[in-house]
Structure 1
Amino acid sequence: MKHPKWRLLPPARTIAAGLVAGLTLLDPTSTSVPAAEAQQPPATPAGLETIQIRPNVYVIFGAGSNITVHLGEDGVVLVDAGTEALAPQVVNAVHAITSLPIRLIVNTSADADHVTGNEIVSAAGREINPDAFSDQPHATVLAHENVMLRMSNPSGNDTAMPSELWPSETYTARVRSMYVNDEALLVYRFTGAHSDADSVVMFRKADVIATGDILDLRHFPVIDTAKGGSIQGELAALNRLLEMTVPAMPLVLKPGRTLLVPGHGRVSDYAELVEYRDMVTTIKDNIEALIKEGRTLAQIQAANPTAGYRARWGRETGPWTTAQFVEAIYHGLTNPVEGQ
């Protein structure tokens, strides 16, 4: 079977800078999606962008977080739901792709930009396991148990999110597996990296992995130490992702490879994940060496341990700055979480 070329769906703004060129055109007839639907590019709602990365896998950009869309005979599986404000547009974007019902939403964390769209998006679907006693149809929302705990009983200054946004099913095992749309869907527990509620979703036949915010190609990874994230967990997660990701080897000129959909940023692959992991490792090692010299956090910040990477990955303003990244690593190394 030919592997797909990235297909940018209207509106056609430039988002393909990081995508690999030279892949062959998608063959819509090779999927379980009706050919009439697959052959007509959907009109994406204004403000969102949709690309097709596999014959039956799409990614919606611009909804707060990236949303992976998987189609098949059982319906639509979404990874994350985006923000509440953009949820109606997400529903419209899904409907522009297919008439199949939304059956399952998997939340990769408890972050607002991933989960506050749950109520509106799930209301547009039907449960993956229909329950005769349900009050009304809605898609199943699955997440790690800590997502429920973070949303319902948060710590610090956070307030509880409305119960309508909470997942309807949770899991705690290392992996939650199911067979949906004629393929194995595996939801892996990756807690302790970005936060204590992380999940990674693998579509095994499609060879697509949705990483959540463990991988964020816009900047240095967000390590939310207040919510159970750590540098040790982040590096362990990136190394584990590398074990799950297959590069375009040994035939590098052929188009096969695992595709990675990060929580934010462009669709990626093994080579870029290696570069990202190596960047995080190098900065961690730099900070660790300075700690061993007896440097304080202020002195470490002044020493610029992110040199060589700051121009590309660093941010001086915004919700996640270079200084915050350095501080998160410093606290993770000087106050390691037990078991990490």
Structure 2
Amino acid sequence: MCCVGGAAFAATAGWLTPRQAFAEARGLVSLIKDSAATSPIMTYRLRNNISVLEGSGGNIAVLTGSDGKLLVDGGISVSRPQLGKALAELGSEPIAHLINTHWHFDHADGNEWLHAAGAKIIAHENTGKHLSGIQRVEDWDYNFLPSPAGAIPAEIFAKDHSLKLNGASISLKYFGPAHTDGDISVMFAEANILHVGDTYWNGIYPFIDYSTGGSIDGMISASDANLAAAKSDTIIIPGHGKPVSNRAELQEFRDMLVAIRDNVGNLKKQGKTRDETVAAKPTAAFDAKWGQFVIDPGFFTRLVYEGV
């Protein structure tokens, strides 16, 4: 392993020793990968031959049919045995297409094996850019190496894209900077199912990746766009959290983001430092519901503070 970034780069002229690389790897990213290696995959069958799989990083949508399986996000590669079994149980069709909602490892680490299995990978151009180079995520204290050639999206787009597969009309729409600078939504029109990636975390505080263009205002704008695209009976698939959601729950998520942004923004305007703002507990009214996962109240406050 050789990763570049920060003090390690300065101390080693750009290369990490195996010991340094191992020490860096034992952080949040590796803990998530370790969990994915043993986590079971839960399958939720929705409608119009669309299902959602939970347990390999982000929530994965699967459309089956004679044109082959289409996946929205590919999970973490170490969960390939469990994910492969879950996919096989959905039908005998080959894997034909994979859409990445953004570049993060818990959504795109499975790209290489899914491509080898037959998937053509589709993503926003910024997702392709981040997967193609060394990428530092400061808030994870982690350096991601360039993905193998087979994991790089073969088809990229700048704004919107559409597909017609297995009788489904599929619309891919770019949000602009939100969770990252490459987030897209995927709408299955006839089924009225909307996968919104990590612009929505159902029942938990979200991560915002400022290292690759994310922002709290962008997350709110993406929520507004998703609400505009959804109807009262639309099934909404979030990137994380309970994998089957709806417009009412998404509205609650959006309102939480706005309230906390305003609370943190007011404290920052008063001259409060980041640590003072965390100590003031601007998320307190929401912590019981939203603050019980990886992004705890203090972490989320620091993320919001960076963007207001």
Asked whether the two chains share a fold, i.e. TM above 0.5, the reply is yes
1:279 correspondence with 2:256: yes
1:91 correspondence with 2:75: no
Matched residue SS, 1:54: coil
Q: Distance in 1 between matches of 2:148 and 2:39?
A: 28
Structure 1 equivalent of residue 186 of structure 2: 201
Cα drift, residue 46 of structure 1: 7.8
1:240 correspondence with 2:233: no
Query: Which of 154, 163, 180 is equivalent to 1:168?
Result: 154
Matching residue's letter, 2:200: L
Cα drift, residue 215 of structure 1: 0.8
Q: Distance in 2 between matches of 1:89 and 1:215?
A: 25
Structure 1 equivalent of residue 35 of structure 2: none
Cα drift, residue 218 of structure 1: 4.6
Alignment of 1:203-218 (within 5 A): 203-218=188-203
Matching residue's letter, 1:161: S
Matched residue SS, 1:142: strand
Cα drift, residue 94 of structure 1: 1.3
Cα drift, residue 214 of structure 1: 0.8
Cα drift, residue 104 of structure 1: 0.8
Larger radius of gyration: 1
Q: Distance in 1 between matches of 2:127 and 2:203?
A: 24
> Where do 5+ consecutive residues of structure 1 fail to align?
1-44, 125-137, 248-256, 334-340
Contact 1:81–1:87 (Cα < 8 Å) also in 2: no
Alignment of 1:1-340 (within 5 A): 47-124=40-117, 138-156=118-136, 157-173=143-159, 175-247=160-232, 257-266=233-242, 267-315=244-292, 318=294, 320-333=295-308
Contact 2:39–2:79 (Cα < 8 Å) also in 1: no
Q: Distance in 1 between matches of 2:148 and 2:119?
A: 17
Cα drift, residue 92 of structure 1: 2.2
TM-score, length-normalised on structure 1? 0.74
Cα drift, residue 151 of structure 1: 1.3
Contact 1:88–1:121 (Cα < 8 Å) also in 2: no
Cα drift, residue 117 of structure 1: 0.9
Q: How many residues align?
A: 264
Higher helix share: 2
> 1:107-147 CA distances to partner (integer Å, 9 max, x unpaired)?
111111111111212322xxxxxxxxxxxxx2211011111
Matching residue's letter, 2:150: E
Q: Distance in 1 between matches of 2:89 and 2:241?
A: 22
Cα drift, residue 72 of structure 1: 2.7
Q: Distance in 1 between matches of 2:56 and 2:278?
A: 34
> Where do 5+ consecutive residues of structure 2 fail to align?
1-37, 137-142
> 1:41-63 CA distances to partner (integer Å, 9 max, x unpaired)?
xxxx9811111111411111111
Q: Which segment drifts farther, 321-330 or 305-314?
A: 321-330
Matching residue's letter, 2:247: Y
Contact 2:112–2:148 (Cα < 8 Å) also in 1: no
Per the alignment, do residues 106 and 299 of structure 1 end up closer, same or farther by CA in structure 2, a change over 3 Å counting? Answer: same
Q: Distance in 2 between matches of 1:187 and 1:204?
A: 11
Per the alignment, do residues 82 and 51 of structure 1 end up closer, same or farther by CA in structure 2, a change over 3 Å counting? Answer: same
Q: Distance in 1 between matches of 2:41 and 2:51?
A: 13
Q: Distance in 2 between matches of 1:46 and 1:235?
A: 31
Structure 2 equivalent of residue 31 of structure 1: none
TM-score, length-normalised on structure 2? 0.81
**Aligned residues: percent identity?**
36
Structure 2 equivalent of residue 40 of structure 1: none
Cα drift, residue 101 of structure 1: 1.9
CA RMSD of aligned residues (A): 1.7
Q: Distance in 2 between matches of 1:218 and 1:246?
A: 20
Per the alignment, do residues 65 and 155 of structure 1 end up closer, same or farther by CA in structure 2, a change over 3 Å counting? Answer: closer
